[in-house]
Amino acid sequence: MSDLRDEVRGHYAEAARAVQAGGGADCCGPDCCAPNAEALDIGSDIYGANLYEKADVETLPDEAVLASLGCGNPFAVADLREGETVLDLGSGGGIDVLLSARRVGPEGFVFGLDMTDEMLTLARANAEKAGAGNVEFLEGEIEAVPLPDASVDVVISNCVINLSTDKPRVFAEIARVLRPGGRVGVSDIVADDNLTPGERAERGSFAGCIAGALSITEMRTGLETAGLVDVEVEPTHDVADRMFGAVIRARKP
């Protein structure tokens, strides 16, 4: 498991370095790339910044947009409200943190959590460029969130849960840090229930967000086992044969 974690860390460290060097970053999935600096409005319609409304991202630092490696738009999924406290698991270059900070306003706050030093450096620089004073980027792993119990209103994440080597622990941590009535609004990759783990691995690597993806039922069951309710797993688009980008919602009772 440590080898897989190191693979993921190395993959996303290299992505951050590529952005800092002025290029685009390789995104999740077997055959896609984030758009480059000269063409922020073109790229994949499966991964990356094109899954966001152009009006939402056009005022963000280019480096935050270029580092968008996800498979969805949790900012749109989570239905954030002014004054809320938000946690973004695997915050990368900070695009979802910055968008969320804008939505929750000065009375709200957004934490970004990432395990990759290079991504944290990039995200903090992007927050400074954006003038976002209501954000903080934390170093840590999504299996051990460095926040107190019942400390956030909403947990978001963009194509990161599939990268964990201990998903039950991730679900338990989500439930732990949410306040009663708190919400989950996540974009991730899920597999058809009939695909075995081996068949998922044939379609892409672990660091590429494919091999480690849960099935639709596994995702739903994992969240429910952690004590969350009203769980919805809604596939939105194909990313590989019988594998999908999906919107995942849940609530803490």
What's residue 74's pLDDT? 75
pLDDT over 60 at 25, yes or no: no
Rounded Cα distance between 5 and 198, Å, is 19
Rounded Cα distance between 216 and 195, Å, is 10
Note the CATH architecture for domain 71-251.
Answer: 3-Layer(aba) Sandwich (3.40)
When mean pLDDT is compared across 62-66, 90-94, 105-109, 248-252, the lowest value belongs to 62-66
What's residue 205's pLDDT? 86
pLDDT over 90 at 139, yes or no: yes
Question: What letters, b where the CB count within 10 A reaches 16 and e where it falls short, cover 196-210?
Answer: eeeebeebbbbbbbb
When mean pLDDT is compared across 61-65, 103-107, 119-123, 188-192, the lowest value belongs to 61-65
pLDDT over 90 at 29, yes or no: no
Residue of higher predicted confidence among 186 and 45 = 186
pTM of the model: 0.84
Most confident segment among 43-57, 121-135, 196-210, 217-231:
217-231
Beta bridge partners of 85: 109
Rounded Cα distance between 19 and 25, Å, is 6
What's residue 26's pLDDT? 46
The whole-number average pLDDT for the span 148-169 is 96
What's residue 34's pLDDT? 36
